Structure 1
Amino acid sequence: MKTTDSLTFKSGYSEVNGLKMYYEIYGYGKPLVLIHGGGSTIQTSFGRVIPLLAKSRQVIAVELQAHGRTSDRNADLSFEQDADDVAALLKNLNIDKADFFGFSNGGTTTLQIAIRHPEITGKIILGSALSKRNGVPSAFWNFMKQASLDQMPGQLKLAYIEVAPDTNGLQIMHDRDAKRMVNFTDIPDEKIKSIKAPALIIIGDKDVITPEHAIEMHRMIGGSQLAIIPGVHGEYIGEITTLKQEFKEADLVVGMIEKFLD
């Protein structure tokens, strides 16, 4: 058991499809799996919401291939592989079914979990998830083609260096994430429409993801709910690059998430 800011948690590594996959477990109750964004760690995406969510749930937070404390494999990243890795981790932890909350790239991974592993999927929260290339402004793709490590937010670089066993992996993580986005292809409509899990779609009104894209996904996933929250990409969960001096827990969407998961 470890303690951070008086919050007790268990952490460990699991052998998953050739990876040493890092995870943390907080709290007790029904399992809720948190899946971070690109270039991120558990703490940079979810550090502000974990203490609140763990009051009523068993929170299982993971770090995906090449991110944070998880090892790399000699293969490009894909959202499908990330989904399969998370499913394998849950099997190793003897968890038959869970709810999932994915942010940004983690939201796209959560879509793939619901598509590829419906039997383990309870409810899903898609935070700023991308399913089509037209879901972001075209300038995003031009930026990704020229992405370099020096453009990566300093908070994310520092967070990686603080936890990674080998800090040389920072460049690898950056390059794998950038390549995955450059090569991103649309998730077919029929696969999105096949999702039967209850879904809550959340974006910021100044998000990277366009409101039109979130609405399109909302219409494709039967019975889903949609929330457009004031703020930028990840501000609604206090993602580390969005934090301001006047940050207040009351501005986070935890209450909405808990109501949806109830």
Structure 2
Amino acid sequence: MTTTRTDTLTFKSDYSDVNGLKMYYEIYGEGKPLVLIHGGGSTIQTTFGRVIPLLAPHRKLIAVELQAHGRTSDRENELSFEQDADDVALLLQNLNIPKADIFGFSNGGTTALQIAIRHPEQVDKVIAASALSKRSGVPSAFWDFMSQARLDNMPQQLQQAYREVASDPEGLQTMHDKDARRMVTFKDIPDAQIQSIKAPTLLIIGDNDVITPEHATEMHRLIPNSQLAIIPGGHGEYIGEITTLKPDTQDSDFVIPLIENFLQKENG
């Protein structure tokens, strides 16, 4: 385990053997565990870099990088949200964390839903931010774009972030292609599985998100103990995801008080 100190934070990082992967993770702060699961094509920092300093004073953050992303190794199988969920669940077992809150963004939000479905005994609360559970949850143009996805179209901030941390920068193409194939072949999560989520769940989207308000509302109605927040802005703007940052972006623009209030409430 490596300890790293920055101007504002100290964190520990390491790798864990998880279902054939060397899974990279970082641990910040002390307190009740909150797992952070990044979006597609991303790293810990590109998704959560702006909000980790805001969450770490009150929580033990376990930030992960999923298969083929960032510093985590790859394996022969294609990417799936179910496999990612199983990987995160086993990582928590390896870290002797029996139960945690889960916060996932975009693809990570869909993974968070799968953790709640497949490993409910390990989940306390779920924050599913800009999560997708049905193909109808995004405009049809999204699927047209994904079917023609090229590395050249991947945001430069995400490409640069991968190259800065990955042991094999050539893996960028593989990660991109696997992420694209996962979306092209995406299948709806059955309503019965969404309804089976017992953990208190906070659904968040932007009002100008890739995810439609109608889809978020549908999930909210399906998940028995859920809340829905629709925040002004685009996909991930509410947490300062790296591709959404503007010169005048302020920490006060982020939804951290909303998230902390949700996490602090007693279950039920």
Q: TM-score, normalised by structure 2?
A: 0.97
Match of 1:92 in 2: 94
Deviations 1:181-220 (A, max 9, x none): 0000000000000000000000000000000000000000
How many residue pairs end up in the alignment? 262
SS at match of 2:203: strand
Match of 1:145 in 2: 147
Answer yes or no: is the 8 Å Cα contact 2:8–2:53 preserved in 1. Answer: no
- Aligned residue runs from structure 1 range 1-262, under 5 A: 1-262=3-264
Answer yes or no: is the 8 Å Cα contact 2:116–2:199 preserved in 1. Answer: yes
Residue 232 of structure 1: how far off its partner (Å) = 0.4
What is the letter of the counterpart of residue 244 of structure 2?
T
The runs of at least 4 aligned residues of structure 1 exceeding 4 Å deviation read none
Residue 5 of structure 1: how far off its partner (Å) = 3.0
SS at match of 1:162: helix
What is the letter of the counterpart of residue 241 of structure 2?
E
Deviations 1:132-161 (A, max 9, x none): 000000000000000000000000000000
Q: Tell me the distance in 1 between the aligned counterparts of 2:210 and 2:75.
A: 29
Q: Tell me the distance in 2 between the aligned counterparts of 1:163 and 1:155.
A: 13
SS at match of 1:214: helix
What is the letter of the counterpart of residue 215 of structure 1?
T
- Identity between Structure 1 and Structure 2 (%): 75
Residue 6 of structure 1: how far off its partner (Å) = 2.5
Residue 3 of structure 1: how far off its partner (Å) = 1.3
SS at match of 1:144: helix
Answer yes or no: is the 8 Å Cα contact 2:103–2:112 preserved in 1. Answer: yes
What is the letter of the counterpart of residue 188 of structure 1?
P
Q: Tell me the distance in 1 between the aligned counterparts of 2:186 and 2:6.
A: 36
Q: Tell me the distance in 2 between the aligned counterparts of 1:34 and 1:43.
A: 11
Deviations 1:30-55 (A, max 9, x none): 00000000000000000001011011
Q: Tell me the distance in 1 between the aligned counterparts of 2:7 and 2:263.
A: 26
* Larger deviation, residues 111-120 vs 5-14: 5-14
Return 5+ residue gaps in structure 2 as ranges: none
Q: Tell me the distance in 1 between the aligned counterparts of 2:92 and 2:55.
A: 19
Q: Tell me the distance in 2 between the aligned counterparts of 1:120 and 1:145.
A: 35
Q: TM-score, normalised by structure 1?
A: 1.00
